[in-house]
Structure 1
Amino acid sequence: MSPAKKRPRAYDPAKIRTAVLAQFGNVREAVRTLTPEQLALPTRLGEWTVRELVAHIGMAVTAVGRSLDLPEPAKPDATLLDWPFATSVSAPAIDAFTRRLSAEHPDLDAYLAGVEQGLVAQLDTHPGSRLLETNAGALPLADYLVTRTVELVVHTDDLNAAVPGLDIPHDRQALAAATRLLADALAVKAPGGSTEVRIPPYAVVQCVEGPRHTRGTPPNVVETDPLTWVRLASGRLTWKAAVEEARVAASGERADLAELLPLMS
C-alpha cells in the first residue's frame, strides 16, 4: 500500500483505451522489424534479452485478462495511486512467467497480435466499473487500464535503449497518463506543499513537507521532461545522473528528490 492516501485524478476511459492500444500497436510494428540477432540482444532489465522483454510487454497487457478470469472482488480496497508502490511484490514470479512466454511463443508478431485481439474483446465485453483483483488490491478495470500506460511507456523506452537505432514512438496520450500517474504517486509518497514538480506539458504537483507556497515563484522547483520523469520514477535513471546531465532543473533547498526516487522498482 502507498504511504498515504490521495484521491486520484480522473482519466477519460475512452482516451486511455485508445492510448493503450496505440502504444501497444507502436510496439507491435517495431517488433516486426527486429532480426533474430536484435531479439537476442541484452537489455537493462537484468538477464532478459530483447525477446524476453517483448514477451513481458505482452504479459503486461494480458494481465487485464488474467484479472478478469478471477472472481470479481466484492468491493474496491485500493486506489489507482496504490499501484506504483506494489509493482515489485511479484518480481520472481513475473520473471519466471516472462521466460516461459518467451520460450512458448517463437513467433512474437503472432503472439502480440493475439494479445491485442484479446484485449479489445475484453474491453468490449466488460464495463470500466468491473472490479479486478490486482497486485495493488481490488481496482476498477478503468483504473487498472491506466496502469498499463505506465507499463507500455516504460518498456517501450527499455526496447529503444536495448536496440541501437530503434526509435519506437510514444503515443502522446499514453505518455501523458503515465507521467501524471507517476507524478501523483510522488505527491502521495512525499505529501506537502513546499516543492513544485513541473513536468510540462502534462503535470504539476506539490510535494515535500515544509513551508507551503501560496503565490509568486515557488522557493523550491523541480522541472523535467516527461520521458526523463518516467525514467526517474521507474529507476531507469538516477537523480544524480539526471541533474549532472542537465535533464532536470532543480532549485531550492527542498528540491533534491534523490531520497524519494525511484517510485517503482
Structure 2
Amino acid sequence: MRGYGRRSDGEVAVDTVRAAFRDECARLGEVLRGLSEADLDRPTDCDPWTVRELLAHVRSGAGRLVDMLAAPAPARAEVDAAGYFGAPKFTPEVDAARIDSGRREARALDGPALVADFDRAWRAADAAVAAAPAGRVVRTRHGDAMSLTEFLRTRVVEVGVHGLDLAAALDREPWLTPGAARVIADLLTGGRPVPPELGWDRLTLIRAATGRADLTDDERAVIDAAGFRWLSFSA
C-alpha cells in the first residue's frame, strides 16, 4: 500500500482521492437505482437508521464540500484525515444530532428523490473539487482547518464504509471499488503494509478497523505490535 498515488513530498495526490470518491459514489448510485421502497425501509447495523436514513446521511456527507469550498479558506491546515476521525468529536451529543439529521432528511424525500439527490450532491461536490485551486484549505463542520485532499479522503471513507453497511442491510456482496479500498486502507494503516501473518485483503482490513468485523485476541496483538492507529468511527 505504501506510496500509492502520492506526490514526491509523500502527500496523497488529490487526483487519486478524487477518482476514488467519484468511482465509489457512482457505484453506490448504480446500486441505489435498483432499490424498492421496501429495500429502503430495511434496518441497518447503524442503529437506529434504516437504509433510507443511512443513505440520507451519506448524501449529506458526500455533498458537504460544496458549501465548504464556497466559504473563505483558512490560512493553513491544522488537522489531517486521521485527526478528523478523533474520538473527542464523536460525543453522544454529536452522534445524536447526526442520527436525528439523517432521519429528518430521509422523511423529506421519497426513495427516487433521495437517490436522485445523492447523485446530484456527489456530482456537485466533485465539480467543486475540480474547480478548486491547488493547495486549497477548507474548514469542517467541527471547526477543523484541513487541506482539501485530506478532507476528501474522509469523504471516501464515509461513502465506502457506509457502503459496507448498506450492502449488509441489503444482503448483498460488498461493492467497494478498488480505488476507494486503497484510499481507506492507506488511511487506516498510515500507509504501512498490513502484517502478512494476518492474511488480510483490504476489505477485511477495513471491516476490522471500523468495527464491522470482530478481532481475535491474536489479531489484536498483531495490530498492536504493528502500531496502527485505529480511528474513531460512529454510525
TM-score band, normalised by the shorter chain? Answer: 0.7 to 0.9
Deviation at 1:262?
5.5
What TM-score does the superposition give when structure 1 sets the normalisation length?
0.72
Give the Cα separation in 1 of the matches to 2:27 and 2:143: 27
* Cross-structure match for 1:198: none
* Cross-structure match for 1:234: 210
1:172 maps onto 2:178 in alignment: yes
Gaps of 5+ in 1: 1-7, 185-201, 207-217, 244-248
**Aligned residues of 1:105 and 1:111 also touching (Cα < 8 A):** no
Indicate how the Cα distance of structure 1 residues 9 and 183 shifts in structure 2: closer, same or farther if over 3 A, else same.
Answer: farther
Structure 1 runs (4+) greater than 6 angstroms displaced? none
The one-letter code sitting in structure 2 at the alignment partner of 1:102 is A
* Cross-structure match for 1:81: 82
Deviation at 1:237?
1.8
What TM-score does the superposition give when structure 2 sets the normalisation length?
0.81
* Cross-structure match for 1:161: 168
Please give the residue correspondences for 1:1-265 in structure 2 after superposition, counting only pairs within 5 Å. 9-86=10-87, 88-89=90-91, 90-106=94-110, 107-134=113-140, 135=142, 137-164=144-171, 166-167=172-173, 169-184=175-190, 203-204=192-193, 221-240=197-216, 250=219, 254-255=221-222, 257=224, 263-265=231-233
Deviation at 1:257?
4.2
Gaps of 5+ in 2: 1-8
Indicate how the Cα distance of structure 1 residues 140 and 261 shifts in structure 2: closer, same or farther if over 3 A, else same.
Answer: closer
Higher normalized contact order (CA 8 Å, seq sep 6+, divided by chain length):
2
Give the Cα separation in 2 of the matches to 1:236 and 1:226: 13
Give the Cα separation in 2 of the matches to 1:69 and 1:59: 16
Indicate how the Cα distance of structure 1 residues 46 and 250 shifts in structure 2: closer, same or farther if over 3 A, else same.
Answer: closer
Give the Cα separation in 2 of the matches to 1:262 and 1:13: 23
**Aligned residues of 1:235 and 1:262 also touching (Cα < 8 A):** no
More helix by share: 2
Give the Cα separation in 1 of the matches to 2:80 and 2:214: 27
Q: Deviations over 1:101-137 (max 9, x none)?
A: 2122221222112113311321132124211112372
The one-letter code sitting in structure 2 at the alignment partner of 1:232 is A
**Aligned residues of 2:73 and 2:137 also touching (Cα < 8 A):** yes
The one-letter code sitting in structure 2 at the alignment partner of 1:88 is F
Deviation at 1:183?
1.0
Which structure would you say has the larger Rg? Answer: 1
Q: CA RMSD in A?
A: 2.8
* Secondary structure of the structure 2 residue equivalent to 1:75: coil
Give the Cα separation in 2 of the matches to 1:261 and 1:71: 32
**Aligned residues of 2:188 and 2:230 also touching (Cα < 8 A):** no
Indicate how the Cα distance of structure 1 residues 141 and 262 shifts in structure 2: closer, same or farther if over 3 A, else same.
Answer: closer
**Aligned residues of 2:64 and 2:125 also touching (Cα < 8 A):** no
Give the Cα separation in 2 of the matches to 1:85 and 1:182: 13
Indicate how the Cα distance of structure 1 residues 151 and 55 shifts in structure 2: closer, same or farther if over 3 A, else same.
Answer: same
Give the Cα separation in 2 of the matches to 1:117 and 1:152: 13
Give the Cα separation in 2 of the matches to 1:71 and 1:139: 13
**Aligned residues of 1:179 and 1:229 also touching (Cα < 8 A):** yes
Deviation at 1:10?
2.2
More strand by share: 1
Give the Cα separation in 2 of the matches to 1:168 and 1:237: 14
Give the Cα separation in 2 of the matches to 1:20 and 1:85: 21
Indicate how the Cα distance of structure 1 residues 70 and 99 shifts in structure 2: closer, same or farther if over 3 A, else same.
Answer: farther
* Secondary structure of the structure 1 residue equivalent to 2:63: helix
Q: Percent identity?
A: 26
**Aligned residues of 1:43 and 1:161 also touching (Cα < 8 A):** yes
